[in-house]
Amino acid sequence: MTRRKFIRKLIKAGSAIAVGASWLISKATPRKFIWAARVKKYPGPLKPLRDISKQGKWSG
Amino acid sequence: MNVQCELCPKMCLIKPGQSGECRVRINIDGVLRTVVYGYPCSIHIDHIEKKPLFHFLPGSLIFSIATVGCNLHCKNCQNWEISQANPEDENIPAYFCPPERLVALTRRNNCPSLAYTYTEPIVYYEYTYDTAKLARSAGIRNVLVTAGYVNEQPWKELLKHVDAANIDLKGITDDFYRRVCSGTLKPVQNALILAKASGILVEVTNLIIPTLNDKPEQIRELARWIKVNLGGETPLHFSGFYPRYKMRNLPPTSLKILEMARKIAITEGLDYVYIGNLRSEEGQNTYCPACKALLIDRSGFTILKNRLKDGCCPDCGKEIYGVWK
Q: Determine the distance in angstroms separating the CA of A21 from the nearest CA of chain B, rounded to an integer.
A: 23
The domain ranges of chain B are 35-284
B86 touches chain A (CB under 8 A): yes
Distance CA B31, CA A37 (A): 8
B278 touches chain A (CB under 8 A): no
Outline where B53-98 has alpha helix (H): 80-83
Distance CA B171, CA B186 (A): 11
Are the beta carbons of A49 and B34 separated by less than 8 Å? no
Please report which confidence band the pLDDT of residue A30 belongs to, taking 50, 70 and 90 as the band edges: low
Please report which confidence band the pLDDT of residue A46 belongs to, taking 50, 70 and 90 as the band edges: very high
Residue closest to B175 by CA, chosen among B204, B117, B215: B215
Residues 6+ apart with CB under 8 A from B132: B114, B116, B142, B158, B161, B162
ipTM (interface pTM):
0.88
B60 touches chain A (CB under 8 A): no
Q: Which residues of A fall below an 8 Å CB-CB distance to B?
A: 30-39, 42-49, 52-56, 58-60
Residue closest to B129 by CA, chosen among B150, B107, B108: B150
Could you report the per-residue pLDDT of B61-106, keeping only the tens digit for each?
999 999 999 999 999 999 999 999 999 999 999 999 999 999 999 9
Search chain A and give the residue with CA nearest B242: A59
The answer to whether B111 and B141 are in contact (CB under 8 A) is: no
Search chain B and give the residue with CA nearest A37: B33
pTM of this structure: 0.92
The answer to whether B292 and B281 are in contact (CB under 8 A) is: no
DSSP annotation of B181 reads I
Distance CA A18, CA B236 (A): 49
User: Residue A32: is its pLDDT beyond 80?
Assistant: no
Give the strand pairing for B294-299 and B141-146.
unpaired
Of the candidates B28, B39, B90, which has its C-beta nearest A42's C-beta?
B39
The class of domain B35-284 in CATH terms is: alpha beta
Print pLDDT tens along chain B (325 aa): 999 999 999 999 999 999 999 999 999 999 999 999 999 999 999 999 999 999 999 999 999 999 999 999 999 999 999 999 999 999 999 999 999 999 999 999 999 999 999 999 999 999 999 999 999 999 999 999 999 999 999 999 999 999 999 999 999 999 999 999 999 999 999 999 999 999 999 999 999 999 999 999 999 999 999 999 999 999 999 999 999 999 999 999 999 999 999 999 999 999 999 999 999 989 999 999 999 999 999 999 999 999 999 999 999 999 999 999 9
Distance CA B204, CA A4 (A): 66
Q: Before B52, cis peptide (omega within 30)?
A: yes
Of the candidates B43, B47, B145, which has its C-beta nearest A52's C-beta?
B43
Mean of the per-residue pLDDT values for chain B? Answer: 97
B147 touches chain A (CB under 8 A): no
User: Residue A31: is its pLDDT beyond 80?
Assistant: no
A56 CB-contact burial (10 Å; exposed 0-12 / middle 13-18 / buried 19+): buried
